[in-house]
Amino acid sequence: MAKRGKSSFERLQEGKLKRSERKQWARRLSSDRVGLEMIHPDAAAIDVGNQTHFVAVPPGRDAEPIREFGCWTAALWEMAGWLKGHGIKTVAMQATGVYWIALQEVLEKAGLEVFVVNARGTKNLPGRKSDVQECEWLRKLHSYGLLRNSFRPPLEIQSIRTVWRHRDSVVKTAGLAIQRMQKALTKMNVQLANVISDISGVTGLAILRAIVKGERDGGKLAQLREPGIRASQEEMEQSLEGNWREDVVWELRQVLEGYDFAQKQLQECDEQLRQYMGALPDREMKSEAKPGKPQNEKERKRRRSKENHKSKNEPGFDLAAELRRKLGIDPKAIDGMNSMTWQTVLSELGGDLSAFPSEQHFCAWLMLTPCRDVSGGKVIRQPRRRGQNRVANALRMAAQSLHGSETYLGARYRQLRARLGGVKAVKAMARYLACLIYRLLMKGQAWVDRGAEYYERQRTEREMVVLSRKAATMGMRLVPES
């Protein structure tokens, strides 16, 4: 039986129509009789703005089917009452900035189903448009079921996400302060960074605090070093001789105070994050990942270093143990993914990925799958999908860290890098890590690292099969060298 091709309506839902077909459907949707089945007859749409919101209900339910409401809370409740008074059950709106958040919360409290859609999927009307046209266009699309609701995590995960995102901005502020302190020292020719690896460590901060308090003697400043510093006393003294400018010292004092304030904020963020994560239910570990036997002494040392290493930007509490309880996985099981990466996954998505039917849907939401425009069965172009996804960015960083890893994932990344190039290999490896995350959280499958040699052996076997087939097509066969 021949396979039935997809209809125009099915391809419209998938966003795979050609430009001429999209224009044709836009003309049909702009008319009153579009020839489509009404999916949401009690649907309304809102064009979200900064100061006002335009709301459209089906014609015939009000003498003025499109109204404008203010953005203050009383106006939002008035809007919700007006929608329910006209029998509206579901509302669609675009995710415009952060203006939709308060509106969405009010409408859901009023008992309405809210669809928050991506503006990329609404296919705006061609040419010039107004807010009135926009809300009416959204209403028609939503009425015929042509809009897809965006993924939104539960409220308890949203609280963790708020704290984690704010904490990330505080970490960046502290990093900027370190750079500015280094700049101030360089302007005074104080070469402290050449003798210690981190000026924000115990020794560096002790010396900086002594400098802003008025100490200028290099010998006394060098005595503040910790025993673990490799530089000698004489090297420290020479590096701490500089041109002490009062204006630069004043600048250093200001930046140091900003750095201390950022560290105080980080402690408060860690405490708040610990409370929110403690409120989440514990999850049983379904399967324990097995890292596999290290291939050599170098790999064994690397794994021991990974297990004992803790990032400087990690929270003050035991993040790995908390993730093990809340996600039911070992955050150090997959090579390249540390506790910070898993925490980003938890704060953005939570531990339940059932909103994504399969790992392919999950990777597509992360924008880690190729985007192709197909016409006549041929790929005419592969446009780049623009967007920011924090989980995808974290997975890209994890993929880049696999370059020198003597594991199965490391060998896979190096082979992809040699075949596709750097940028494409990072994206492809990030997609594979996303598939592993989905299998761990949703299917409870264990990850077993078989090592780089196992992957290379598999790759050699696949290449032999391909070469044998090519030789057979030319009437030849492969003969191993004696």
**DSSP secondary structure letters along 424-445:** HHHHHHHHHHHHHHHIIIII-P
pLDDT over 90 at 262, yes or no = yes
CATH number of the domain where residue 102 is located: 3.30.420
The answer to whether the CB of 71 falls within 8 A of the CB of 49 is yes
Instruction: For residue 252, give both structure tokens.
Output: 């250093």
pLDDT band (50, 70, 90) for residue 296:
low
288, with CB counted inside 10 A (0-12, 13-18, 19+), is: exposed
pLDDT in tens, 50-59: 889 999 999 8
Looking at the structure, tell me whether residues 175 and 253 fall in a common domain: yes
Q: Is residue 42 part of a domain?
A: yes
The answer to whether the CB of 446 falls within 8 A of the CB of 288 is yes
* Helix H or strand E encompassing 43: strand 43-47
Looking at the structure, tell me whether residues 123 and 227 fall in a common domain: no
Q: What is the mean pLDDT of residues 155-160?
A: 92
| Residue in 128, 123, 115, 132 with CA at minimum distance from that of residue 65 | 132
Segments forming the whole domain that contains residue 235: 156-278
Residue 294 pLDDT? 53
Which ranges in 284-439 belong to alpha helices (H)?
A: 297-308, 319-327, 339-349, 359-365, 390-400, 408-420, 422-438
How many domains in the chain?
Answer: 3
Q: Is residue 303 part of a domain?
A: no
Q: Is residue 108 part of a domain?
A: yes
Q: Is residue 406 part of a domain?
A: yes
Q: Is residue 287 part of a domain?
A: no
Looking at the structure, tell me whether residues 15 and 105 fall in a common domain: yes
Q: Mean pLDDT across the chain, nearest whole number?
A: 84
Q: Is the pTM of this model over 0.95?
A: no
Rounded Cα distance, 414 and 420, in Å: 10
Residue 78 pLDDT? 93
pLDDT in tens, 13-60: 455 556 666 666 566 555 555 567 888 999 999 999 888 999 999 988
Which of 108, 143, 178 corresponds to the end of one domain?
Answer: 143
* Helix H or strand E encompassing 113: strand 113-117
Looking at the structure, tell me whether residues 161 and 111 fall in a common domain: no
Q: Is residue 79 part of a domain?
A: yes
Q: Is residue 476 part of a domain?
A: no
pLDDT band (50, 70, 90) for residue 159:
very high
The answer to whether the CB of 342 falls within 8 A of the CB of 322 is no
Looking at the structure, tell me whether residues 419 and 377 fall in a common domain: yes
Q: Is residue 336 part of a domain?
A: yes
Residue 287 pLDDT? 53
Q: What is the mean pLDDT of residues 94-106?
A: 89
